[in-house]
Chain A
Amino acid sequence: MGEKKNHAEKQYQEIKTKAEVKKPLTQDKTVVMVGTATCGKAAGAIDVRETFKEEINKRKLNAEVVEVGCIGHCYAEPLVVISKPGFPSLCYGNVDEGLSSRLVEDYLVGDDPCYEYALVALEPNEEFPTFTDFPRGMFEQKVILEQCGLIDPEQIDHYIAVDGYHALAKALDMEPKEVIEMIKESRLRGRGGAGFPTGKKWDFCCMNVQDPVRYVICNADEGDPGAFMDRSILESNPHQVIEGLIICGYAVGASQGFIYVRSEYPQAVRRIYTALEQAREKGLLGEGILNTDFSFDIEVFQGSGAFVCGEETALIHSMEGKTGMPRHRPPFPAEVGFRGKPTVINNVKTLSYIPHILNKGVEWFQSIGTPDSPGTAVFALVGKIENTGLVEVPMGTTLRTLVYDVGGGIRNEKEFKAVQIGGPSGGCLPESALDIPIDFDSLQEAGAIMGSGGLVVLDEDDCMVEIARFFLDFTQKESCGKCTFCRLGTRHMLDILMRITTGQGEKKDIEILGDLAVDIKNGSLCGLGKTAPNPVLTTLRYFMDEYEEHIQGKRCPSLMCPELINFYIVPKKCSKLCSACVGSCPVEAIYTREDGLKAIDLEKCVKCNSCPLACPPEYDAIIKVSPPERVEELEKENA
């Protein structure tokens, strides 16, 4: 080891010195950073970027417009960070073209930071609160999201300037075994969902087989509805993942790595290609990395969108040109993987932690989170919540903190009903489970799974039977059809759920549904089938009353299932002077009564939910009722 020591480190320092010149936030120039991850673009970030560029050019200002990734505050997209010498760096939310022009005029030219539009300041200052002054910032602890939205993902120098690829240099100055030992000691667990110890997986890959050829694969086949953690990380800081993958390759003795990414993530794919190219140019990837004798390269493999290909054996089959279908494990891929060789497959987030653990040490990593699940958890917080976005909290944070403090609580002052955690493989947890700490083991006990990080918040208007049906519909469509339980079992469960949500359910259906769910969980071949019943099992466990209401009362208590509700215009609230609902109805089911008030022809009504939205809030006259027959009673009462 002696001679080898510091070889890579020296080479790295040279690269870093050159990169630091290009640091994004230098003090002599104004920098405007526009978040142009897919989420920002969808909200209009391209127009914002162009406006800034135009206005700055017009006025010939000494300011640079930089594209960055996602800072995680999705509710306020498009987001812009302006860093002007003499001022704290300020983040502005909901920026449009008008505000862009105004910021150039008033702030860049005129020194007025327009605090009224600012969301938060990035560093502590006298003038404006920072992230840590808000509840969300107090509970968040950013590790793998730290640089997301603050560096240009398409400029490797930005990453290197914040100490990027330093961990790689450190790793290369260690023996591969020492790297594995370090990851083992850190007790890092895989963030793909199941939480298998990462170090153990790496060790397994090297120990069991004599074969010198090994592969490492980054699994970026994110497919859960409502989840976007991996996409955001790849779009915002691809080098962090690449660095993790190279270190993984070095540790297990692989010379070839792959990133398996969905082709439905075009921007992530582009940014990965750019990042790989830049890493090669810098000598951080390819032959003789950082002047050592370690050679390693990464290829991108674009998946075609099958959800099951996130399962590691199906992923391998798909890369080998076969149908994306799982096989029985063992042998695990770490033993017999891609092209029959030992293969480590790690999730995007798992690999993102690697550079941090090498840089800051095992003790630092274990000081975050819980003893059995150290580190942080990244969630895509979506649904009926005030502050949607990408959040990172220490493991062990309770769901309550996540929903109410980090997420800002339920939107529109509605009642909380459940969190759906872990996507189609996860479960729905009720109010009573809100004090469960978020870690791999506690969530499993409650019937959900950590999953890869999708977290959907549901309120009183969400029907839990319908939610179970929605997720079953997803898994049933995504089942590859290989094994009996998943192919036929999920279809039967879906059929039963469809019967219940349309009022055709019978009492015995609940029992059959529960029994089937347990058997599919125990009997399926792969992870998809084994976890597909979770949404059903958890809703049966925590929301049985809603199932019973659907079956016995033929009503949907959340007024969501279209077959079990009707719309009704309350005459006392309706106004002769307004006909907003009439215009909103796509099937002309709403007519004007003789007295000038409006009413709905239920024969024609398709229950599209347009009219209650069109009815002005000062009247709020259109209600939903369940069971549907309730309309007749109301008509009599109001006659």
Chain B
Amino acid sequence: MNKKISITIDGKEISAEEGRELLWVALENDIFIPNLCALKEKDRPSASCRLCFVEIEGFPRPVTSCTQPVTEGMVVNTRSPEVDRLVGTAFELLLSDHRLGCSKCPKNKACALQRIAKERKLKLKPKRLDKFEKDTPIDDSTDLFVLDRNRCVLCGRCIWADRHIARVGAIGFSQRGIKRKVSTFGDKLLKDSPCIECGECVEVCPVGALVFKKDYGK
């Protein structure tokens, strides 16, 4: 265990383990920072959702807190006009590619996007940007859960759980750019993949992309 140090987040003095990522230090002390792709158990943060920006005194511009180790005396602000602007845009970009209609979503009220919108007072609808119309078929081939890529935010948590908790390797990212998606090898249905239906991926999905069938239509 590393030595304890003291940092300040939003004016609150916090004791933390030196070198830990700022995001976890904040979250464990009940200070909310938006995030989707972070997982505490991961060796290296993927830093891909671009939502966890914070401002640190002495740093020229906002940094992602999931990649920032804490150091003695660090002074952090989770909000600032610059941070809010970046988080707002990243959030709007994600929404422009996410099937909306929360009332019909099985993850309603337990969704990370809803939490972020509430905490940061953001609209759950893109304001400036057009929506990308996508209509990808839903994969409900397994008995246990449903994969709805129209709601996927590409955080990659399911893939990590599949590989490191379940140790199966049924899913991964395929394609690139705007076409990037979670997919099985050869883009087969989950039931035709090595998937063992353990449900680990569903547990870590922050949105309504992977949902247990028992929760559907609730």
Q: Which residues does A use to contact B, with CB under 8 Å?
A: 306, 323, 327-328, 476-485, 487-489, 491-492, 495, 508, 512, 515-516, 519, 522-525
Tell me if B45 and A512 are in contact (CB < 8 A).
no
Question: B177 interface residue, CB < 8 Å from A?
Answer: yes
Tell which of A323, A328, A477, A516 touches B177, judged by Cβ atoms closer than 8 Å.
A477
Instruction: Write the nearest CB–CB distance from B74 to chain A, whole angstroms.
Output: 16
Instruction: Write the nearest CB–CB distance from B154 to chain A, whole angstroms.
Output: 7
Tell me if B176 and A491 are in contact (CB < 8 A).
no
Tell me if B178 and A484 are in contact (CB < 8 A).
no
A306→B177 CA distance, assembly (Å) = 11
Tell which of B44, B86, B94 touches A488, judged by Cβ atoms closer than 8 Å.
B94
Tell me if A488 and B93 are in contact (CB < 8 A).
yes
Digit string of B29-53 for contact with A (CB within 8 Å is 1, else 0)?
0000000000000001111111101
A328→B50 CA distance, assembly (Å) = 11
A485→B96 CA distance, assembly (Å) = 12
Chain B residues positioned under 8 Å from A481 (CB to CB):
154, 173, 175-180
> In the complex, what residue of chain B is closest to A511 when comparing beta carbons?
B128
Tell me if A484 and B94 are in contact (CB < 8 A).
yes
Pairs across A and B, CB under 8 Å, 16 listed: A327-B44, A327-B46, A479-B177, A481-B154, A481-B175, A482-B46, A482-B180, A487-B177, A488-B93, A488-B178, A491-B132, A491-B178, A492-B130, A523-B86, A525-B47, A525-B48
> In the complex, what residue of chain A is closest to B172 when comparing beta carbons?
A323
What 12 additional pairs, Cβ within 8 angstroms, besides A327-B44, A519-B86? A481-B178, A483-B48, A484-B48, A487-B178, A488-B97, A491-B132, A491-B178, A516-B89, A519-B90, A523-B50, A523-B90, A525-B50
Tell me if B48 and A523 are in contact (CB < 8 A).
no
Give the contacts of B70-116 with A (CB-CB under 8 A). 82, 85-86, 89-90, 93-94, 96-97
Give the contacts of B142-172 with A (CB-CB under 8 A). 154
Question: B184 interface residue, CB < 8 Å from A?
Answer: no
Chain A residues positioned under 8 Å from B4 (CB to CB):
none
Tell me if A485 and B177 are in contact (CB < 8 A).
no
Question: B138 interface residue, CB < 8 Å from A?
Answer: no
Interface size on B, residues (CB 8 A): 34
For the residues of B in contact with A, the DSSP-based class is loop
> In the complex, what residue of chain A is closest to B86 when comparing beta carbons?
A523
Q: Which residues does B use to contact A, with CB under 8 Å?
A: 44-51, 53, 61-62, 64, 67, 82, 85-86, 89-90, 93-94, 96-97, 128-130, 132, 154, 173, 175-180
Tell me if B96 and A492 are in contact (CB < 8 A).
yes
Closest 8 CB pairs of A and B: A481-B180, A488-B93, A328-B47, A519-B89, A479-B177, A481-B177, A484-B50, A483-B48
> In the complex, what residue of chain A is closest to B61 when comparing beta carbons?
A522
Tell me if B96 and A523 are in contact (CB < 8 A).
no
> In the complex, what residue of chain B is closest to A529 when comparing beta carbons?
B50
Instruction: Write the nearest CB–CB distance from A484 to chain B, whole angstroms.
Output: 5
Instruction: Write the nearest CB–CB distance from B177 to chain A, whole angstroms.
Output: 4
A487→B67 CA distance, assembly (Å) = 20
Instruction: Write the nearest CB–CB distance from B116 to chain A, whole angstroms.
Output: 13
Chain A residues positioned under 8 Å from B175 (CB to CB):
481
Instruction: Write the nearest CB–CB distance from B89 to chain A, whole angstroms.
Output: 4
A484-B90 contact in complex given A323-B173, A328-B47, A491-B132, C-beta closer than 8 Å: yes
A266→B169 CA distance, assembly (Å) = 36
Chain B residues positioned under 8 Å from A476 (CB to CB):
177-178
Chain A residues positioned under 8 Å from B89 (CB to CB):
485, 489, 515-516, 519, 523
Chain B residues positioned under 8 Å from A478 (CB to CB):
177
